Amino acid sequence: MASLKDTMQSDLTSAMRSHDEVTVRTLRMVLTSITAAQVAGKSAHELTADEEVALLSTELKRRQEAAAAFAAADRPELAAGEEQEADVIRRYLPAPLSPDEVSALVAAAVAEAAAAGQTGGRAMGTVMKTLKPQTSGRVDGGELAAAVKSALGMG
């Protein structure tokens, strides 16, 4: 199976041939971020699929925040451009989890923690540690934490 980076590079070539400027611009920025992450640190390394998804999630969040800032500053044309870039990035992320799916995963993780003797606030870390790999890139961490707190009766 081709890595996400390889898929993006082939899509970049296709977008260049079809003169899709938004896709070309966005994929170049994302590929640059991936390359920078690969060479960051003491030694260069290939990113794992989870690291690539986390990086894409970060890039998506940046675009969404920029779009919101531009909209608040009454710059709809710039906000629309950021939204278009966000749409390109979303193509490469796994499908987001529905609220029902999140609730089911949280309920299972809370039950597992309760079976291990952890309840209330003490179980928060255990439950989050269990859920994070299952939900990586598919649900916002803040939303997940809120669902866990609610299920644990903390808020």
Last residue of a domain, one of 59, 90, 121: 90
Of 90, 112, 135, the one marking the end of a domain is 90
pTM: 0.77
Q: By the 8 A CB rule, do 34 and 48 touch? A: no
Determine the Cα angle at 37 with ends 34 and 41, to 5°. 165
The last residue of a domain, from among 39, 60, 90: 90
Q: What CATH number is given to the structural domain containing 134?
A: 1.10.10
Q: What is the DSSP letter of 138?
A: T
Q: What's the domain range around 82?
A: 4-90
Give CA separation, 38 vs 2, 33, 51, 52, 70, in Å: 17, 9, 10, 10, 31
How far is it, in rounded angstroms, from Cα 133 to Cα 53? 12
Residues 46 and 113 in one domain: no
Co-location of 63 and 12 in the same domain: yes
94-143 pLDDT tens trace: 888 888 998 899 999 988 888 888 877 788 888 888 888 888 778 888 88
pLDDT tens digits along 85-98: 999 999 999 888 88
Q: Which residue is it, tokens 């989050």?
A: 128
Helix, strand, coil distribution of the chain in percent, nearest 5? 75, 0, 25
Asked if residue 77 and residue 26 are part of one domain, the reply reads yes
Same domain, yes or no: 106 and 54: no
CA 39/CA 9 separation, integer angstroms: 18
